[in-house]
Amino acid sequence: MSTPTTPRRASAGRGNTRRGEGQWALGYREPLNPNERSKRDDNPLNVRARIENIYAHTGFAGIDPADLRGRFRWYGLYTQRRPGIDGGRTATLEPEELDDEYFMLRVRIDGGAVSTEQLTVIGELSQTYARDTADITDRQNIQYHWIRIEDMPAVWARLEGVGLTTMEACGDSPRVILGSPVAGIAEDEIIDGTPAIEEITRRFVGDPAFANLPRKFKTAISGLPDVAHEVHDVAFVGVRHPEHGPGFDVWVGGGLSTNPMIGQRLGTWVPLDEVAEVWAGVISVFRDYGYRRLRNRARLKYLVKDWGAARFREVLETEYLKRPLIDGPAPEVPELPRDHVGVHPQRDGNFYVGAAPVAGRVSGSTLVAVAKAAERVGSNRVRFTPQQKLVVLDVAEAEVAGLRAELAALGLQTDPSPWRRGVMACTGIEFCKLAIVETKARAATLVATLEERLADITSAVTAPVSVHINGCPNSCARIQTADIGLKGQIVTDEDGRQVEGFQVHLGGGLGLDAGFGRKLRGHKVTAEELPAYVERVVRHFVAQRGPQERFAQWV
């Protein structure tokens, strides 16, 4: 671990920086909002010792509110929503009125990669401490619910016993690193980013130097364009340099939620063994120059928007890396994002088998059973995907059919309908304190309804139509980059009642269609009408599209 550094003082007036936005590097060190004060008052990583030594014994009632609603996040812990509070009251209640005494807990799984031994422990912990809950998040994490603070020491002991952690799974810190679910095995992979992911997590997760960032920091590293790299704070995307060979193209400043932005290319080529150094440079720029005054301007995208890619690269090179980077080409743009569902050949002659739960909802028991099924066919590697799916690697051809049948019996289809394949959903009102509407159960209803009502045109849908469902204006399910993005809010139904519903965004995408869906004014749908609405849109698409036309083009 490196020691915390005092950010250097940069020349004032750099670029288009506005009046004091809380940039440490420009001398604005005085915390300017409660979150910044909390981080200054105590390194959030210190909260682990208090959980183990104090709160695990006092129980929920003994927890300092500054830890409960702030520093706990650095260990993946959020209070979950008290049951029975409807979405219309979310914005009107005080935090303590929304808090339940149970927690959501995220286990960070960098690159989405687990061994079957780790998967078994993840599943058994859920059975013991989380009422058998487990959701695959679209950041390749596993999220539990119903965790008691008293159980955290035992949970950490078991996770860490198999090399897993919850450290910096949330908070203003370097969050889980997304990686290709088929890293190291895909036939067409340009380069395997796994060593870089491992080096960054080994050297920098838990490093006090990066434990107090202006806000969250999301990273993706992949030799294939399969990790939504366009919407990350920093992304390293596999590319072949005409002289230097395989390496990575660097993107910075992507992000969703309010004021979404597609990341900008720095125009550099970075070899595998320099990725960690460049990553540390980029996150240092963010730490030192990021806007800390207002939380809603603190993500890296605002700095990149003001500076532009050229200025960002110049600061990175001159102040942090102390050397120029090599210029590099852009990566190829894939026509469609890959979700790795189905059966696909690996480059070693084996196969990988991708399966689709509905919107990432599984259970501890299911994960234990998946681990057993994988081991039975001689595999000990499973990966989670950024589309809330899971993939079993290293399956011999003779074992594929048996594994597929076993996964199907667990509700994990390897040849799913386009609807099951294309639907994602965030946590929603069941557990999330910010939510306005229900999401996971709605996703399940939507999939079942579309499978029934659209059976006649399923074969005409040659690529999944992505439907992403969010429980509030945040974008945990990446609604702006979906064909049909649904932002949860209270809407007025035909009878004038205030009911759960969605603002619709149409035609977003990644890859060739990288861009944000159009939010049509007044284009809202009640939750009850949702299946019928999606059915109508898909039928129109299938009837009207031109040959090879994709949804985003058609819209």
Q: Which range binds ligand SF4 by CB under 6 A, 67-75, 383-391, 442-450, 469-477? A: 469-477
Task: Tell the smallest beta-carbon distance from residue 487 to ligand SF4 (Å).
Answer: 8
C-beta of 190 vs 423, nearer to ligand SF4 = 423
Dihedral angle computed from the Cα positions of residues 411, 416, 419 and 420, in that order, rounded to the nearest 10 degrees = 20
Task: Tell the smallest beta-carbon distance from residue 474 to ligand SF4 (Å).
Answer: 4
C-beta of 381 vs 478, nearer to ligand SF4 = 478
Contact between 471 and ligand SF4 (CB under 6 A)? yes
Exposure b/e, 428-444, CB count within 10 A at least 16 = b:
bbbbbbbbbbbbbebbb
List the interface residues with ligand SF4, window 426-455 (CB under 6 A).
426-428, 432, 434-435
C-beta of 182 vs 432, nearer to ligand SF4 = 432
Task: Tell the smallest beta-carbon distance from residue 281 to ligand SF4 (Å).
Answer: 30
Task: Tell the smallest beta-carbon distance from residue 470 to ligand SF4 (Å).
Answer: 4
Task: Tell the smallest beta-carbon distance from residue 469 to ligand SF4 (Å).
Answer: 9
Residue with tokens 């390194």: 43
Q: Which range binds ligand SF4 by CB under 6 A, 15-23, 222-230, 308-316, 465-473? A: 465-473
Residues whose CB falls within 8 Å of the CB of residue 126, separated by 6 or more in sequence, listed in order: 132, 133, 134, 144, 363, 364, 365, 367
Contact between 482 and ligand SF4 (CB under 6 A)? no
**CB-facing half-sphere around the CA of 113: CA atoms within 13 A:** 21
Contact between 474 and ligand SF4 (CB under 6 A)? yes
Contact between 141 and ligand SF4 (CB under 6 A)? no
Task: Tell the smallest beta-carbon distance from residue 435 to ligand SF4 (Å).
Answer: 3
Contact between 470 and ligand SF4 (CB under 6 A)? yes
Task: Tell the smallest beta-carbon distance from residue 500 to ligand SF4 (Å).
Answer: 12
**Dihedral sign of CA atoms 71, 275, 234, 485 in order:** negative
Contact between 472 and ligand SF4 (CB under 6 A)? yes
Q: Which range binds ligand SF4 by CB under 6 A, 65-73, 164-172, 319-327, 471-479? A: 471-479
C-beta of 238 vs 357, nearer to ligand SF4 = 357
Tell how strand 467-470 and strand 423-425 pair up.
parallel
At residue 500, φ and ψ (nearest 5 deg) are -65, 140
Q: In whole angstroms, what is the distance from residue 143 CA to residue 161 CA?
A: 19
DSSP, collapsed to helix, strand or coil, labels residue 114 as: strand
Instruction: Please state, in angstroms and as integers, the Cα–Cα distance from residue 226 to each residue in 67, 111, 367, 424, 468, following that order.
Output: 36, 12, 23, 16, 17
Question: Taking a C-beta distance cutoff of 8 angstroms, is the pair 471, 439 a contact?
Answer: yes
In the chain, the amino acid numbered 371 is: A
Contact between 393 and ligand SF4 (CB under 6 A)? no
- Closest residue to ligand SF4, based on beta-carbon distance: 471
Task: Tell the smallest beta-carbon distance from residue 433 to ligand SF4 (Å).
Answer: 8
C-beta of 434 vs 443, nearer to ligand SF4 = 434
Question: Taking a C-beta distance cutoff of 8 angstroms, is the pair 511, 422 a contact?
Answer: no
What is the arrangement of strands in the sheet containing 133-136, beginning at the earlier edge strand?
A: 77-81, 99-107, 142-147, 133-136, 361-363
How many chain residues are in contact with ligand SF4, going by CB under 6 A? Answer: 11
Task: Tell the smallest beta-carbon distance from residue 32 to ligand SF4 (Å).
Answer: 24
Could you tell me the maximum CA-CA distance found in the chain, to the nearest angstrom? Answer: 66
Residue with tokens 């083009």: 553
Q: What angle do CA 248, 254, 259 make, to 5 degrees?
A: 170
Contact between 469 and ligand SF4 (CB under 6 A)? no
C-beta of 432 vs 525, nearer to ligand SF4 = 432
Task: Tell the smallest beta-carbon distance from residue 154 to ligand SF4 (Å).
Answer: 27
Exposure b/e, 490-527, CB count within 10 A at least 16 = b:
bbeeeeeeebbbbbbbbbbbbbebbbbbbbeeeebbbb
Residues whose CB falls within 8 Å of the CB of residue 11, separated by 6 or more in sequence, listed in order: none
In the chain, the amino acid numbered 265 is: R
- Per-residue string for binding with ligand SF4, 408-427, x by CB under 6 A? ------------------xx
C-beta of 174 vs 471, nearer to ligand SF4 = 471
- Per-residue string for binding with ligand SF4, 46-85, x by CB under 6 A? ----------------------------------------
Contact between 45 and ligand SF4 (CB under 6 A)? no
C-beta of 143 vs 268, nearer to ligand SF4 = 143
The contact set with ligand SF4 (CB under 6 A) reads 426-428, 432, 434-435, 470-472, 474, 476
